[in-house]
Amino acid sequence: MENELPSPSEMALITPMSETLPNILEEKREGETQSDKVHLKKQLGLLEGVAIILGIIFGSGIFISPKGVIREVDAVGTSLIIWILCGFLSMIGALCYAELGTSIPKSGGDYAYIFEAYGSLPSFLYLWDAMMIFVPTTNAIMGLTFASYVLKPFFDDECKIPDGALQLIAAVTICFLTYLNCTNVRATTKMQNIIMFTKIAALVLVILVGVVWMAMGHTENFDKPFEDTETDPGKLSVAFYSGIFSYAGWNYLNFMTEELREPYKNLPRAIYISLPLVTGIYVLANMAYLAVLTPQQMIASEAIAVTFGQKVMGVWSFAIPILVAISAFGGLSVHIMTSSRMCFVGARNGHMPAILSHINVEKFSPTPSLIFLCMLSIVMLVISDVHVLITYCSIVESFFIMLTVSGVLWFRYKRPNMERPIKAPLWVPIVFVLICAFLVIVPVYVAPFEVGIGVFITIIGVPFYFVGVVWKEKPEWFSENVGAITITLQKLFLSAKEEKD
């Protein structure tokens, strides 16, 4: 990708910064070392990388609703096979992302790789869907999940928690975690390390309780594991889709490649450690759930881990809601951190307002991007059903993941001599792309309306691309107003453009 010189309008936005914050920047210039430059710092090691991947994957989902698979296949044995196959697919997908992440060592994940492989418009549309739908709605759902488990002890089972209370707690939580990510990246990563071990301990607790339950002779749910297995391809693909969704997040460390120490070593190592661990824990946790609860009880439950605890853990069942709340809190923190880097890289490439590519000159965090996503997430909290938006765009997101991995094949063809510290066997990206293509095509037949809405939301981004990115000769009054707003926000966030080496 060619490096373009800043446009005159961008230079106008950069120049006033030295006048706005002269003391701070001049102090940084005197005796400046590599660590003093205004850019994202390499503060993440292998443990932090593993914590980020596990923090995203082990959100609240595995504790609340791993019922999408069993609902579609109707058989215990088939359900477990689906979970194993989903883990396998995630692992081969992660191999492809390890190759991409070490070949293109840039933050931004899927966005950066699509931009490098296929150019500006496809990457902009991915960013459009991610920033407008995927990221803020996921933050909102995680925040509401955390709020519901925090407030649950204060309300009787028959009493519904007021929506206003849920939204308020969720908004405060999102704002607090955004503030923490803005002011202290190191403290945030240490907190995520601790929460990672808490999540693993919680799932190990579920697994051990299930093993003890089966050791006591309660194995009747496994007597005929494949009886009444669903054979309809549409239902099986939906079941597979539900399983893959639960594994989502294995590519999120790629969003922060530029902040990872020794990325050529730590990125693939973090992936290789995390994915087998996730697969093993997911399969064993679902086996524990299925040992204690019948498929019908799982389908009926709104929070499977809570129902599980109430049935077999007695007075200790109170621990489950606490662990779910901790998991949701940690998952939200990781999601806020990683997704802000995608927004930052998009702005750096000119696909979002320039201010979002700025970095706080004292904390070296992408503060404007973090604040921007925080505001979008809070807006999503007041939408009546944000799950609908994710449903509409989930197929589109899968398409972009397929497009990202197809970039491995494209680079093998177009850039055969490209440096590849990690090189996956050729069959790995081919198999992953074919399976993703199947998972994208089948829902067109099963749920054409939802797919159509998702495509429509994506297409809406096209005029924004031409106005915001392609149209260079904007009116002078427009550029002046944008410049004034940018300078004001620079002062507010104490931020400046990234300094290149």
Question: Is 461 inside a domain boundary?
Answer: no
Residue 409 in any domain: the answer is no
Question: What's the total number of domains in the chain?
Answer: 1
pLDDT band at 157 (very low <50, low <70, confident <90, very high): low
Identify the helix (H) or strand (E) that includes residue 239.
helix 233-246
The yes-or-no verdict on residue 16 having pLDDT over 60 is: no
Lowest mean pLDDT of 24-38, 129-143, 236-250, 467-481, name the range: 24-38
**pLDDT (average), residues 412-423:** 89
Query: Residues of the chain with pLDDT > 90: what percent?
Result: 23
Per-residue pLDDT, 409: 94
pLDDT higher than threshold 90 for residue 472: no
For residues 25-53, average pLDDT: 66
In this structure, is residue 33 part of a structural domain? no
The more confident residue out of 391 and 260 is 260
Residue 274 reports pLDDT greater than 60: yes
pLDDT tens, 310-354? Answer: 888 888 888 888 888 888 898 899 889 888 988 998 998 989 998
| Confidence (pLDDT) at 385 | 66
What are the residues whose beta carbons fall under 8 Å from the beta carbon of 204, sequence distance 6 or more? 281
Least confident of 73-77, 252-256, 300-304: 300-304
Q: Which domain CATH number covers 125? A: 1.20.1740.10
Range of the domain at 301: 42-389
User: Token pair of 259, please?
Assistant: 């902040």
In one-letter notation, the amino acid at residue 13 is: L
The kind and range of the H/E element at 360 are strand 358-360
The sign one gets for the Cα dihedral 11, 14, 20, 26 is negative
Are 105 and 258 within 8 A, CB to CB? yes
pLDDT value, residue 426: 92
- φ/ψ of residue 338, rounded to 5: -70, -45
The pLDDT of residue 386 is 63
Whether 72 is in a domain gets the answer yes
In a domain, 268, yes or no: yes
Q: Indicate if the pLDDT at residue 231 is higher than 80.
A: no
276 inside domain: yes
pLDDT band at 124 (very low <50, low <70, confident <90, very high): very high
User: Do 117 and 410 form a contact (C-beta atoms < 8 A)?
Assistant: yes
Would you give the distance in Å from CA 493 to the centre of its chain?
Answer: 25
Please give the torsion angle defined by the CA atoms of residues 95, 100, 101 and 105, in that order, rounded to the nearest 10 degrees. Answer: 160
Q: What is the pLDDT of residues 173-223, one digit of tens each?
A: 999 999 999 998 888 888 888 888 888 888 888 899 999 999 988 888 888
Of 202, 254, 327, 290, nearest to 44 (Cα)? 254
Higher pLDDT, 442 or 207: 207
In 3-state terms, what secondary structure has residue 45? coil
| Structural domain contains residue 74 | yes
- Place 390 in a pLDDT band, splitting at 50, 70 and 90: low
In this predicted structure, the answer to whether residue 405 has a pLDDT above a threshold of 80 is yes
On whether residue 132 sits in a domain, the answer given is yes
Quick one: what percent of the chain has pLDDT higher than 70? 89
Instruction: Look at residue 6 in the predicted model and tell me its pLDDT.
Output: 44
Question: 127 or 363: whose pLDDT is higher?
Answer: 127
118 pLDDT higher than 90: yes
